[in-house]
């Protein structure tokens, strides 16, 4: 079955109009396979009653069948590039607030820190190689929680603005970002 899927995708990629159709055919084949394997408690022709509720593994398998081939498997990663205790505290607080705001976990971001003797720690957050938040944290660790909460809201606004701008603005003179 695997070589057939590879051949179907190769043909779909070669012919630009058939990519969506090929994905639909694959999804229909998977749905028919799963429907044929288990119908009304009958498995492979034997009458087995399925009176148990659907398990978490069944739900996970159904979700994985719905995903497309081109989905990013690393969505929602928060990279911790902090080096001090203060930076780690900021990261912990920020990731908690970020996960509350960004329930879909669609965006991968990185948190960087550069400790300085004069100003405490310089902290910035990057999304697609662009800084969406930049601040200096004083050496007092109590300030990290409030700054992290404000940072989560600011980062969400800046990422939303960046994504809207990226999707709507077409500049024919410049190529898109390659990295």
Query: Domain ranges in the chain?
Result: 1-28+60-71, 78-168
pTM: predicted TM-score of the whole model, two decimal places: 0.59
Mean pLDDT score, 158-174: 85
Q: What is the pLDDT of residues 47-81, one digit of tens each?
A: 555 666 778 888 777 777 666 666 667 788 999 99
Q: What is the per-residue pLDDT across 87-134, written as a single tens digit (0 to 9) for each?
A: 999 999 999 999 999 888 889 999 999 999 888 999 999 999 999 999
- Among 40, 133, 170, 147, smallest CA distance to 97 is for 147
CB 121 within 8 A of CB 87: yes
Model confidence band, residue 9 (pLDDT cutoffs 50, 70, 90): very low
On whether the CB atoms of residues 37 and 50 are closer than 8 A, the answer is: no
Helices (H), 38-107: 56-66, 85-101
């Amino acid at each position: 079955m695997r070589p057939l899927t590879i051949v179907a995708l190769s043909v779909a990629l070669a012919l630009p109009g058939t990519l969506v159709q090929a994905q639909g055919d694959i999804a229909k084949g998977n749905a028919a396979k799963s429907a044929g394997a288990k119908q009304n408690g009958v498995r492979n022709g034997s009458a087995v009653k399925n009176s148990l509720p659907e398990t978490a593994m069944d739900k996970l398998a159904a979700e994985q069948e719905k995903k497309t081939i081109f989905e990013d498997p690393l969505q929602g990663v928060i990279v911790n590039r902090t080096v001090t205790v203060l930076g780690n505290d900021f990261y912990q607080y920020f990731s908690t607030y970020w996960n509350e705001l960004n329930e879909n976990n669609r965006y991968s971001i990185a948190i960087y820190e550069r400790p300085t003797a004069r100003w405490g720690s310089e902290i910035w957050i990057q999304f697609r190689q662009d800084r969406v938040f930049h601040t200096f944290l004083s050496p007092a660790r109590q300030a990290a929680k409030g700054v992290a909460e404000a940072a989560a809201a600011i980062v969400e606004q800046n990422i939303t603005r960046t994504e809207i701008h990226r999707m709507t603005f077409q500049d024919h003179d410049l190529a898109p970002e390659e990295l």
